[in-house]
Structure formats: structure tokens, C-alpha cells
Amino acid sequence: MGMPDAKMTARRLSVHYGDKRALHEVDLDVAANEVTALIGPSGCGKSTFLRCLNRMNDTIDGARVSGEVILDGEPLYGPSGIDPVLLRARVGMVFQRPNPFPKSIYDNVAFGPRLHGLVSEADALDALVRTSLERAGLWSEVKDRLHERGTGLSGGQQQRLCIARAIAVEPELILMDEPCSALDPIATARIEELIDELRQTYTIVIVTHSMQQAARVSQTTAFFHLGRIVEVGATEQVFTAPASELTQGYITGRFG
Ligand SMILES: Nc1ncnc2c1ncn2[C@@H]1O[C@H](COP(=O)(O)OP(=O)(O)O)[C@@H](O)[C@H]1O
Ligand SMILES: [Mg+2]
């Protein structure tokens, strides 16, 4: 079922909020060590879909998920579903607005490893905090002020801190929901470079309203419209020779 190297697979995935259906039987394969971009007009279900991949919809009142999501052969939902707390360590998330905890830079990054008991020695925790900040491209900017508040950093630094926090628990996948929408162009460019480096180690699914961003950072693009995936394919193909007229209309700016 699905592509042979799929890290995560969604099958007939539907979501209702109350009696309103937001996602209609969506199928998607997410390839390992790639960036998969989810694009489409506002309200088409991108965030709803992304939240299914780490069971974040469980936390939304009235949201009901049906269908399957499979991570490395293991179902996320159903009686044998993965425990949501463990799942969110395996599938990290970075949100639209940077949301560091009101704690020190160090404690933001150490939070997950402490919660999951990943390290027992203080030296090992220090090393993990450092590596995570290095991988997030933030270490050199914060190494002399690890005990200052994370919320005192610039927006772009805060978002890289949130990425460091996500990678500190060594996730397999990182979900990003419009991670640059609150950032200026320079901070955005840094995050885009970072995403490209991170995919060597992680599998990334990113929602973006910027088609330029999808084209720059992703290898696979899925175009959502009214709660369905209209088209999914190699990013270059989707942007240069889309199979669907709807996709063509969206990427040429006829609606959106
Ligand atoms: N918490 C919620 N409660 C009720 N309806 C919601 C909720 N979140 C999203 N929706 C609805 O589901 C649809 C898809 O929304 P969303 O996934 O946020 O789209 P996108 O991220 O593509 O803009 C929209 O019609 C939206 O109004
Ligand atoms: Mg959204």
C-alpha cells in the first residue's frame, strides 16, 4: 500500500467539526527525508489535515477524525493507536506564531527531553540542548544567554527556538503550519535554509500560503481545495505542468 519509502500514510482521512465536514477522504503518502508542502486557499483544510498527523485534533472540541494515518506501519488511530503523548515526541510541530514557553532559552529546549526522560545526566542534557540549538541554527546567537527568557528573542529567533525545542526530542517527523507567516523576509529565508538542512535528518510536512515558499523548500506538493486533495506530485511538476485545471488556476493566481 502506498509508496515503498513512505514515512507516513493517510488513507480516506476525513474530519468533521460538529456536523461540518472539513476534510473528505484524503489520501497522501509522505516520503521520508523530503519536504512535503501542503498548499491551497484559506479554509481548504490544510491545518486540519496537518493536525491529524500528530493527533492534535484530539484536543479540539467537536472534532472527529475517521480514516487511517500510519507512521512506519503503526496506526495512529483506533484501538491499537499510538499513545498521543509518545506520538507527539515522534511527530513534532511548529506553529504559525512562534510560541516559546515563558521560560529560559535553555529550559525551552530541555523541556521535552525532561518530560520524556531522555537523558539523566546534567552534562548529557547540556549537550542535547547545545546540539538542538546548533541544528536549529541558533546556538551562536544565544550561547551566552541561555538563561534569558525565550520570549525576549526576535520573532525569527523565537521560531528557530521552537524548532530547536521540537528537535530536542529527536522526532521522526516535523510538522510546520505556516511557520514563516509572522516573520520578515530575512528571518523567513533563514528558516527556509534550515528546513532544507533539516530534511537530511527528518521528514517535514509544511503548510504554506506562499507558493514561492512551497516551490523553494519542498520536493512534493499537495494542492488542497474544499477539503480534498486535488493534485499531488513532484513540486516542480505541480508548479510547471499541473495536471488539474483547478491547480493551474490556483498557482496562476486566478483564485486563492
Ligand atoms: N476548531 C474548529 N472548529 C470548527 N471549524 C473549524 C475549526 N478549525 C477549522 N475549521 C473549519 O474547517 C475548515 C478547514 O479549516 P483549516 O483546516 O483551518 O483550513 P486551512 O488551514 O487550509 O486554512 C474551514 O472551513 C474552517 O472554518
Ligand atoms: Mg491553516
pLDDT for residue 1 is more than 60: no
Expressed in angstroms and rounded, the spacing between residue 43 Cα and the centre of ligand 2 is 7
In the DSSP assignment, the letter for residue 141 is H
**Residues lining ligand 1, Cβ inside 6 A:** 17, 22, 40, 42-48, 60
- Centroid of chain to Cα 20: 25
Measure the CA dihedral 141/142/144/149, to 10°: 140
Q: Looking at the domain assignment, is residue 219 inside a domain?
A: yes
In the DSSP assignment, the letter for residue 145 is -
Q: Looking at the domain assignment, is residue 180 inside a domain?
A: yes
- Confidence class for position 254, pLDDT limits 50, 70, 90: confident
Q: Looking at the domain assignment, is residue 115 inside a domain?
A: no
The number of the ligand nearest the C-alpha atom of 181 reads 2
- Cα–Cα distance for residue pair 246/40, rounded to 1 Å: 10
Expressed in angstroms and rounded, the spacing between residue 16 Cα and the centre of ligand 1 is 10
Q: Tally the domains of the chain.
A: 1
In the DSSP assignment, the letter for residue 53 is T
> What are the CB-based long-range contacts (under 8 Å, 24+) for 132-137?
132/164, 132/165, 132/167, 132/168, 133/105, 133/109, 133/161, 133/164, 135/164, 135/167, 135/197, 135/198, 135/201, 136/160, 136/161, 136/163, 136/164, 136/167, 136/194, 137/190, 137/193, 137/194, 137/197
**What are the grid coordinates assigned to 66, written together?**
475517521
Q: Looking at the domain assignment, is residue 80 inside a domain?
A: yes
Q: Looking at the domain assignment, is residue 225 inside a domain?
A: yes
Q: What is this structure's pTM? A: 0.95
pLDDT for residue 126 is more than 60: yes
Q: Looking at the domain assignment, is residue 110 inside a domain?
A: no
Kindly report the protein residue whose alpha carbon is nearest to atom 14 of ligand 1: 45
Expressed in angstroms and rounded, the spacing between residue 45 Cα and the centre of ligand 1 is 6
In a 13 Å sphere around the CA of 81, the CA atoms on its Cβ side amount to: 19
* Domain interval for residue 186: 6-96+172-251
pLDDT for residue 183 is more than 70: yes
Expressed in angstroms and rounded, the spacing between residue 221 Cα and the centre of ligand 2 is 16
Expressed in angstroms and rounded, the spacing between residue 144 Cα and the centre of ligand 2 is 36
Report the CATH number at residue 37. 3.40.50.300
In the DSSP assignment, the letter for residue 83 is P
For residue 41, give the ligand 1 atom closest to its CA.
22
Least confident of 22-31, 80-89, 233-242: 80-89
Secondary element (H or E) of residue 93? strand 91-94
The number of the ligand nearest the C-alpha atom of 39 reads 1
Q: Looking at the domain assignment, is residue 228 inside a domain?
A: yes
pLDDT for residue 2 is more than 90: no
The number of the ligand nearest the C-alpha atom of 38 reads 1
- Partners of 76 in the β-ladder: none
Residues 128-180 have pLDDT tens digits of 999 999 999 999 999 999 999 999 999 999 999 999 999 999 999 999 999 99
- Cα–Cα distance for residue pair 39/36, rounded to 1 Å: 10
- Cα–Cα distance for residue pair 65/22, rounded to 1 Å: 10
Supply the pLDDT for residue 256.
72
Q: Looking at the domain assignment, is residue 191 inside a domain?
A: yes
